[in-house]
Structures are given as structure tokens and as C-alpha cells.
Structure 1
Amino acid sequence: MKRYEDVLSDMEQKIDGGQFVSGQKLPSVRTAAQLYGCSISTITRAYAELMKRHAIYSIAQSGYYVVEKPGSRTGVTESKAIDFASAMPDPSVFPYLDFQHCLNKAVDTYKYDLFTCGDSKGLETLRRTLVSHLAADQVFAKAERIIITSGISPVLELLARMPFPNGNSVILVEQPSYDLYLRFLETEGVPVCGIARTSAGIDLRELEEKFKLGGIKFFYTMPRYHNPLGTSYSAEERKAIARLASKYDVYIVEDDYMADLGEEPGLDPIYAYNGTSHVVYLKSFSKIIFPGLRLGAAVLPEKLLGTFHEYKRYADTSLLSQAALEVYIKNGMYERHKRKISSQYAARIRALNEAVQRYNGAQLLERSDVHYGVFVQFKLPQTVNLERLIERLATKHIFVVSGKPFYLSDYIEREKFLRISISRVQPEQIEEGVREIIEEVRREVRSPSY
């Protein structure tokens, strides 16, 4: 008993004293047992007690984390940092207590069924729950066409590898686009080509030409809250893309990973305009709840289902997480949390836009017209040395991301920009950060060789 109490007391002191800071991942149970020279059961018991005291929380298949306390910061260095770089959700809005309740209820409901291998399609009851959940976003599909996935990236990789009924092999991607997927396509030697997308949209005539003559297997697009631009296609653009897909037998892979982070009316997904025949619809739940959840959903056309199941032969997601998500949605917790996080992020976007308007009188940079989501593009003058600008900002503890990685390696017509993310930056830091960015751009423009 004394050993358990010593371990618990020491952990609590380290959390209260700041050695384990808010949002930090704790050592695994096995590692902690080695550090304390005790049994795994002692550490497990200590972690369980800390969760009861709401000092830490757990994320399935990820580990244990220190609870983010109101007004807390993760150490002196980070308290000074203005983080416009991270695309991960803000830990301070993680619904760890609600989701803990859902995990417990899921275990009580399903018991030992949750500890089997499961179906490669995903938990049937969750897929049926998602029928009505997706229908609220004008994505109408039977449960048989909904596949539960371990996030979006594994599905994108699988779709790149599997053959499509149109017999084509080239994947068309927006430029810029999701950097990790671009690197995957290039590393794997997948035939890929790009089409320019700017904050103003896409050239539909060029898109039609590529659909007609480019041997396109599918067009990968983020119609809503694009990464890295932050912009969304208009309803007219979505309808046109859906029409061209059917006309030229080209599939659309619609990555709607931030579907729940906005309230823009009248912007239904491309899927809603295509009659479901040529659109693969992808949705992530990790961006709303927390990244460690690693759950997403894919809605596939009938023609792709058989081949998709041949390539995805085994279950790759936790049944416990799936069951907890089902409870979370059914209980109305998902909708409540979605409204909360959307409101917070929209407020940060407003603060960012107001700061740019306040300090960008000389129009040194162009800001994409964004009101929801998490990303905003800061387009820069061509004379600006992008790497040097980022380095100088870093010396002031302001962290941003270059637009370069979001292009294919051989794509020539690139815009020079910073991707600004508001998901981790603290609201009170936004104005200072924007002011410093614009000031550093001004210095670059005045003295490009300094």
C-alpha cells in the first residue's frame, strides 16, 4: 500500500509543480513502472486514481495526458510562443470527461464484444448511427456503403493503390494541397499531376480539359476549409465539379475533414450534387474530438465497394473507440462540442482578420477570405525570402509554416505564402503575432538583402 501511495503522491506533486505540464503526455505504464521500480499494476492504479481526481485523462491507443487547466500554459518557453504553425486541435477544448463517460458506457453496453477483432467495415451500430449523422450534412447513404476508418490518411493511401472502374491511373491534386498525401504519392511513384487552386478558386475550364484528356483516375479535393488555403469552393463550383465527374467518368475523392468547423449556409458537399455515383466522401472525427481518437468514415459508391473491401481486409480501428463515438453522437455530446469548438475557432479567425485589417494598411500581404475553419493563407510579395522570414519570426517565438511543402516537387507555378493556423494560438496572442509578421514582411520588402 505504501509504495502505491508514494507513487501517487510523487506524480501529483510533479503535476502540481509543473514538471508534468498541461497537455503533456505521461510515460507509458510500462515505462513509469521502470522509472519508479514498481509493478505495472501499481502504476495502473495510480493513473486510475489521477483520472478520478481529473488530474489526467486517457486517450484510447495513445496514452495518458495531463488535464489542461483553465488559464494554464505548458512551461515558460511555450507561454511566450505564438503558435500559428500547429494544425492539431487545442488541448484545452478536448472533451475528455464527456468522452470518458462514453467509454465507460460503451464497455457496460457491449462488454466482451469490444475486445474481439471486429469487422473491417467497422462497428455495425456506429455505421447505422452515422446514416442519420451524415444525412444532416446532405450525405445520404445506407450503412452498407459507410466504412469506419483509422482516420483519413490510410483511406487516401488505399484509394491511390486500388484500381478504379474507369481504368485510369493518374491522380489529380489541387496545388497546393495536403502535404503528407503529396509526399506519399511521390514516394510510392503513383502517377500524379496538379491543377492550380488559389484563394479565388479553380479554373473549371482547365479542370474539364484534364478530366477529358488527362487519364484521371480520381480528383482529390478539399472543397471546405482547404489545407493550406483555408478557403471553400462556392456552391456553383461544387455543382460544376460534380457534373464534370459524371460527364467524363472521373471519380472525386472529397476530403471533408473539417466539415463540422463552420456554419456557412448553402454549401453542401460535392457528394450531394453527384447522385453518389462518382464521389468518395471522407470525414474525420479527430479534428472535432481529439487527434488520438483516429476515427474517420468513408462513404463509397457501389462500384468501388467490392475492390475497397478486397484491399481493406482487416479491422484497423479500436472497437472501444468506435462504440464510445457511437454513444457520444447518440447522446448529443458531439453536436454540443461541435458548436463549442466551432464558436471558439470562429472567434479566433475574426480576431486574426481584424488584426490584419488593422496592421496591413500598406497591403504587404494578401489574406485569403476565410471566416471558419482553422487555416488562413498569408500570400507574400515575391521579393520576400521565405526561409529567412520564418527564421526571424522564430527568434521572436512566433511559429508559422511555409507554403512550399504543399506543392508537388516538380510543380512550377507556386504562390509564395505562409499557412497560418489558429487552432493552437491563444486568442490574446493573435494581434501581437499578426503585427510582428507584417512588420517582418515590411523589413524584407524594404531591405531584401538584410
Structure 2
Amino acid sequence: MEKYNIEFNDYEPKYIQIADNIKNLINSKVIKDGDKLPPIRVLAKELKVNNVTIVSCYDKLVSEGYAYQKMGSGTYAKKREITDYFKKEYSKEIKLIKNNYEKNIIDFTGESSRKVNFPINQFKRVINEVLDRDGADALIREEAFGYANLRETINKVFWNNSLNIENLLIVSGAQQGIDIASKAILNINDNVIVEKPTYAGALSVFKFRRANVFEMPVEEDGINIKKLEDILRKNKIKCFYTMSYFQNPTGISYSHEKKLAILELAEKYDFYIIEDDYLSELIFDDNIKHEPFKVLDKNDRVIYIKSFSKIFLPGIRLGYIISPESFRESIQNSKINTDIATSTLMQRALEMYIKEGYWIEYIDNLRSEYIKRYELMKKLINEKLKKYVGFFDPKGGLSFYLNIKDKEIKSKELFYRLKERGVYITPGTLFYKGSNLGEQYFKVSFSQVNQEEIISGIDIIKEELEKWHI
């Protein structure tokens, strides 16, 4: 017990000081992965603090990934994954280049429309029209579930008036939508299935909810149905999180057959599908049909989330969520508890933008521009990187997910080497749950780069891969 003893300072809460000491003991391997930590009363007596202090300390360790708890057994040390540290460092790097954008940076990490693609003058006119029409209401009136006219317009334009408006809520982007859905549907230790790999933001939400996460490897047309049912037979699953089109990061889209099979299993095994409709507007191949899970849902099993931020303007932070009837009240309460209301001016401006037909025109122009970048990047990868990487052709979306053929080349190391040359990629390790999987993969996106930058960036990637063993 001596190793737990510390000399307390006067400026930090004691539970934080105790937690920091235990983290140092875990990092230095004095406490090994899986070692049981002292019982609460024992450690409290040893350190001359009350039991609540140790409870707060252990809760902090669990929330930061340094410990886990077994019901009726106690608290156990957990070695932090290297990947967790890298995720934080990577996030800092990317925020830095976003906040201090430099012209000589080639950013293959971004997945939102660049300002040069956005009709700013047209949107400015729309905002002015909204202010002239609605006056102060456009700035001060708040509606907890979203601007009623926007909800109605979304239903009319995108869903052919097929929805119950009460089930449609406006949210501040897809990330908030995932968070709201998880709060409404998940309790501690509930079981969730995700794709492997998957969107890191969703993993963070489920981790924060303390859900048990099962990973299902993706194939070229979605997850393996047989393996999915094997998990469903053995475990009570609460929900399945999926990106139905151009899955992040792999770029795969679900086949019609797999969507129907998963919907049947959802009814059979009583679980719900959280569908993150990621980038379905950017289909570049006529053989891919726009048909989300929600459209095929006959048993009200799908919680549908759509963001306007990715392909429109990230700064407006708008999206919507469609809930099943059975979860309507829970999702509404979750939304209210998350924030009071979403920006009313932006909602009104977006509603007019969609209603007047500008949205469809904008998407058509955006798709035309992105097809050019997609075709160029695919051509260059085939011509210049084929010796070093393999890849799946997504036929839409905003990125390519590349598989490094040489097992000695790790994407995290490649990230640091490319960073020194002003090129930023997304290593595959960011898309897996708490492990160092994905080291042979990296993602390159083309939404933030022009054609010259794509050519230059791919050349630099080739050069770095070529000299790996020199």
C-alpha cells in the first residue's frame, strides 16, 4: 500500500491528486494492466481521506480509460492504449492547421466543403431576405424541436411528405444527433454494434455512455450478415450504428439486400438502427441507388440522422434526426437536455434556401466539382501509388481509404513524415475501438484540396513511401 501514499498539496482536489498518482503508477508499470486497485474503504483509511474522495478518484480513472469496474468485484487498472494518446495528439495537430490555415498545407484530412465551393453571395441574400421578412423573430424566437417551417420543408423536399413531423427534430449537426440518440436509447453496460472500422466521433459517444461496443468488420457491400446474427443470438443488442453510404472511413455503401436483411434482424432480435446518412448526396455512379435504411424501414426500427454541415457550410452546424414513434418522447427530452434550441436565424435561412430550389442547384454543382477531384485522385493513386497501396473504389463520397501493402510501414509514422512536408493524412488507427488496429491503413480526402494540390500531395506521398527502406 505504500506506493499509493502521496503528500497532498493545497491547491488541487484530493481525488484528482490520488488519481494522478495512480495514473503515474500505471504508466510506469508499477501497477500492471489488470491489477486490482485497493477497496475504497481500505485506500481511504490508508490515505486518511473519506470514502467519497476515493469513489470520485476511481470514477475519474474509469472515465479517462485508466481503470474499469466489475460489478461486485471492484476496480481494476487498465493500461492506456497508445492509440488513445495518438488520437489526442492528432486532434491537436488538425485543429492547429484548421485554425491557422496556411496556403502551403495540403490537407487530405478535411471532409467538408471548402469556402470556394460555397455560393456565399447567394446565401447572404437569403439571410437578408429572412431578416427583412421575420425581423427580430429570426434572432430571438426559439423552438426547442426546431423551426417548424424547416421541419415541414425537409419533409416535403427530401421525404415527399411521408413523415410525421413530430418525429423530426432539428439538431446541431450529426455528432449531436448521435449523442442525442445514444442518450435516449442507451444505459450503462448496454450493448452496441458498430462497423469496424468506424467514425471516431461515434465511438467517443458510446464510450462516454459506458456502453459495451461490439465491432463488425465491413465488406464491400456492408457488414457480414451471418456474423451479425451470431452476435445477436448470444447477446442482447440495443442498437447498431451504421453509415449507409460511403462509410467513414472505408467508403463502402450497403447493398439493397443487406439493408433488408439487417432490418429483418432488427425486428427479430428487437434492436434499433442508428443510421448516419453521411454523404448520400455525393453518389457518382448510377448503379448506386439512393435508398437509406429509413426508406426501407417497415417496422419503425431506424433512428435516422442527417447533417447539412458536411456538404453545405460547416459553420451553420445544422442537421436533423428522425425518431421511431416509440422513442419520440425520449429523443425530444434528450434534445432539450442537450441544448435549449439550435440557431434560429440559420434554420430560417436554410429553410428558404431549400424551399427556393437553391439547395438542389448547389448540390448539383458540388457533385460536378467533386467528381473531377474524385476521378483525378483515383487516377493518380492507380498510376503512382499502386505499387505501395491497395484501395476500394467508393464511387462517391469525399475520400479514399488506402491499404499499405508493406507491413513494416505504419500509417502513424507515415503521418509524421508527411506532416514535415506539409501534407496531412488520416491514419487508420483513429477508426478503431481502443487498439492499435488500422496501422496499415490511411485515408485521403479531396474536399479541401484543389486539383494542383491533389497532384502535388500524391507525389509527396509516393516519395515518402519510396524512401521508407532507404
User: Could you state the TM-score of these two structures normalised by the residue count of structure 1?
Assistant: 0.76
1:16 is aligned to none
Q: For 1:261, which of 267, 282, 302 is the aligned residue?
A: 282
- Determine if contact 1:235/1:267 at 8 Å carries over to the other structure: no
1:186: Cα distance to partner? 2.2
1:361: Cα distance to partner? 4.7
The DSSP-based 3-state class of the residue aligned with 1:219 is strand
Identity, in percent, stands at 29
1:95 is aligned to 119
1:379: Cα distance to partner? 0.8
Residue 162 (1) aligns with residue 184 (2) = yes
> How big is each residue's C-alpha offset from its partner over 1:151-191, in whole Å with a ceiling of 9 and x where there is no partner?
11112112222246x99921211111111221232244232
The DSSP-based 3-state class of the residue aligned with 1:162 is helix
- Write out aligned runs for 1:45-84 (5 A): 78-84=102-108
1:299: Cα distance to partner? 0.9
1:290: Cα distance to partner? 0.6
Q: For 1:221, which of 223, 228, 242 is the aligned residue?
A: 242
1:360 is aligned to 385
The one-letter amino acid paired with 1:82 is I
- Write out aligned runs for 1:304-343 (5 A): 304-313=327-336, 315-343=340-368
Distance 1:200 1:279 in 2: 19
**Which one is further off, 368-377 or 259-268?**
259-268
The DSSP-based 3-state class of the residue aligned with 2:257 is helix
Distance 1:361 1:323 in 2: 48
The one-letter amino acid paired with 1:250 is F
Residue 242 (1) aligns with residue 263 (2) = yes
The one-letter amino acid paired with 2:172 is S
Distance 1:188 1:168 in 2: 8
- Determine if contact 1:145/1:305 at 8 Å carries over to the other structure: yes
- Determine if contact 2:112/2:312 at 8 Å carries over to the other structure: no
- Determine if contact 2:404/2:440 at 8 Å carries over to the other structure: yes
Distance 1:77 1:318 in 2: 26
- Determine if contact 1:365/1:438 at 8 Å carries over to the other structure: no
Distance 2:183 2:272 in 1: 14
1:121 is aligned to 145
1:198: Cα distance to partner? 4.5
1:144 is aligned to 166
1:180 is aligned to 201
1:153 is aligned to 175
- Determine if contact 2:178/2:205 at 8 Å carries over to the other structure: no
Residue 279 (1) aligns with residue 340 (2) = no
Q: For 1:383, which of 391, 408, 420 is the aligned residue?
A: 408
- Write out aligned runs for 1:192-231 (5 A): 192-199=213-220, 201-231=222-252
1:117: Cα distance to partner? 4.5
Q: For 2:324, which of 283, 301, 313 is the aligned residue?
A: 301
Cα 1:133–1:389 shift into 2, 3 Å: same
- Determine if contact 1:160/1:190 at 8 Å carries over to the other structure: no
The DSSP-based 3-state class of the residue aligned with 1:252 is strand
Q: CA RMSD in A?
A: 2.5
The DSSP-based 3-state class of the residue aligned with 1:326 is helix
Cα 1:184–1:263 shift into 2, 3 Å: same
1:325: Cα distance to partner? 0.7
The DSSP-based 3-state class of the residue aligned with 2:103 is helix
Distance 2:344 2:448 in 1: 29
2:78 is aligned to none
Distance 1:400 1:331 in 2: 38
Distance 1:256 1:91 in 2: 23
Distance 1:441 1:214 in 2: 43
Distance 1:276 1:428 in 2: 49
- Determine if contact 1:89/1:287 at 8 Å carries over to the other structure: yes
Q: For 1:112, which of 136, 157, 168 is the aligned residue?
A: 136
- Determine if contact 2:221/2:253 at 8 Å carries over to the other structure: no
2:452 is aligned to 428
> How big is each residue's C-alpha offset from its partner over 1:298-355, in whole Å with a ceiling of 9 and x where there is no partner?
1111111011122222542111111111100011111111111111112111101111
The one-letter amino acid paired with 1:383 is E
> How big is each residue's C-alpha offset from its partner over 1:8-46, in whole Å with a ceiling of 9 and x where there is no partner?
xxxxxxxxxxxxxxxxxxxxxxxxxxxxxxxxxxxxxxx
1:374 is aligned to 398
Cα 1:273–1:162 shift into 2, 3 Å: same
- Determine if contact 2:402/2:443 at 8 Å carries over to the other structure: yes
